[in-house]
Structure 1
Amino acid sequence: MLKENSRPVRKVFTTKAGGVSRGPYASFNLAEHVGDEQQCVQDNRKRLQRILGVQHLQWMEQIHSNTVQEVKAVTEEPIAACDSIVTTLRGVALGVLVADCVPVLLSDHEAGVIAAVHAGRLGARNGIVQRSVEAMRDLGAVPERIHALLGPAASGRNYEVPEAMAADVEARLPGSRVLTDKGTPGLDIRRGLLVQLRGLGVHAIHADPRCTIEDEQFFSYRREGVTGRFAGVTWLPDV
């Protein structure tokens, strides 16, 4: 039996608070590509590792693709040109950076497989989550055993888009098209992903309902323009 404090997989989301960045990146920005001082970002990342108690934290070069890469060894550099990383390595935390896109953390603890997924509009539309589940399955995971945690993201009530865009995403990710609080066409990517995951056989799903556009605990590109990124992180603790 597992001890109460010995969970087989860890999943966390950060907020804006607790770091050293200044200005529009205040204060716990974890992204290097948004214009923040690099030393501040590095200090924030080291602080995150210290708080989580992980020695290795693997990031990726997110490009709004549907490309999944397996992490087979620890590297100091981001995994190039992908929007999902999967691993069976223990003690290696996988990180995804967001500021309105959906951070998706997946795990099958029996198979010892985890994934961190950046599901923005384009990536979600083009199947990044489905491809992540398929990559996990190739490593021994079983969809019916996978647990999915969807983090804070832009909600449908605030994510206004042109009608053609809403229709396009709905055609590829059914369940995504909604009406905003203004009565205009909108997208709820989390909602579409819930439908997709269930269709893939993943039923253990939890979704954080908070909207990054309206909740100022989180960075939001749509609300702020120039801003930082918060993170979703998952890892298999060392046995």
Structure 2
Amino acid sequence: MTPVETAETLSELSGIRHGFFGRAGGVSGGEFEGLNVSWSVGDDSQIVEQNRELVRDAIGVGPLVILRQTHSTHVVTVSGAVEPSSLEGDALVTATPGLVLSILTADCTPVLFADKEAGVIGAAHAGWRGAAEGILPKTLDAMVAIGADLSRIHAAIGPTIYGPDYEVGDKFMADFLAIDPSGAAHFSTPPGGQPHFDLPGFVEEQLRAAGLAAVERVGSSTYRHPDRYFSHRYATHQKTRTGRQISVIGLA
């Protein structure tokens, strides 16, 4: 069985299938060894499709809906299967059973959402810019627009890069705070070092401020565990390439 991490807050909801897949269990080799699900990093497309099939089999719901992610705040509401990467955006929502909303990451923060009572789910890709510009509130707004209620939504934050591993520098900090000054508390500077940013901490604060039913973190820092996760920053520091892992949620 393909290894996968799950959130207790989502697992307790009947009719919701989800998972945060890492790099283990796939058929890619070389730099992309493991469960690489991205066509755009240089891996063989047929091997990538085999990896995606492993994910579909593990979830057991239906077709994967995969966006061409652009670090935007665009949320796509889907009601049927679409060709992979034929739509652009950084979040998906649906009330249609049988679809598996999918987010690809390699340090950015994946977030999965579910309102079981309304039968509405969502999935968002929150890089630093998307998070600062509001991808998560916009995802929640899109879920509410098709019947969800904030007080019933359960959210799970998946494996991502954590603050101690995310050195960003003064210009990054200035650029971020120019967009969202409320993020100041999530920057820290070690003695003699450069500013670091706590992306999952910022994401969690936004979700809790929205008044959701539950917010949970799953997994560890992608950078700190290159054996378990693909990490773009780690690969860059090693002067190599890396794949993308996938986070998925579906209504059975």
TM over 0.5: yes
Residue pair 2:153, 2:214 contacting (<8 A) in 1 also: yes
Structure 1 residues without counterparts, runs of 5 or longer:
none
In the other structure, the counterpart of 2:97 is: 90
Query: Which residue matches 2:154?
Result: 147
Q: Structure 1 residue 85: deviation in Å? A: 0.6
**1:76 maps to amino acid:** E
CA distance, structure 1, for counterparts of residue 151 and residue 62 of structure 2 = 30
Give the percent of matched residue pairs that are identical in Structure 1 and Structure 2. Answer: 36
Uncovered stretches (5+) of structure 2, i.e. residues with no partner: 1-10
TM-score norm. by structure 2 comes to 0.87
Q: Match for 2:229 among 198, 201, 218?
A: 218
Residue 60 of structure 1 is matched in structure 2 by 67
Preserved contact between residue 157 and residue 181 of structure 1 (Cα < 8 Å): no
- 1:80-107 CA-to-partner distances (Å, cap 9, x unmatched) read 2200010001111111000000000011
* 1:24 match: 31
Per-residue Cα deviation, 1:101-160 (whole angstroms, up to 9, x for no partner): 000001111111111101011111111011000111111111111111000100001100
- Structure 2 counterpart of 1:235, which letter? G
Written as runs of structure 1 = structure 2, the 5 A alignment for 1:69-108 is: 69-108=76-115
Letter in 2 for 1:222: R
Q: TM-score, normalised by structure 1?
A: 0.92
> Which residue is equivalent to 1:12?
19
* Aligned partner of residue 50 in structure 1, secondary structure: helix
8 Å CA contact 2:17–2:59 kept in 1: the answer is: no
Letter in 1 for 2:132: R
Q: CA deviation at 1:6?
A: 7.6
Question: Is 1:137 the counterpart of 2:144 in the alignment?
Answer: yes
Q: What residue in structure 1 maps to residue 247 of structure 2?
A: 232
User: What residue number does 1:34 align with?
Assistant: 41
For residues 124-203 of structure 1, the aligned pairs below 5 Å read 124-170=131-177, 172=180, 174=183, 175-179=185-189, 183-203=193-213
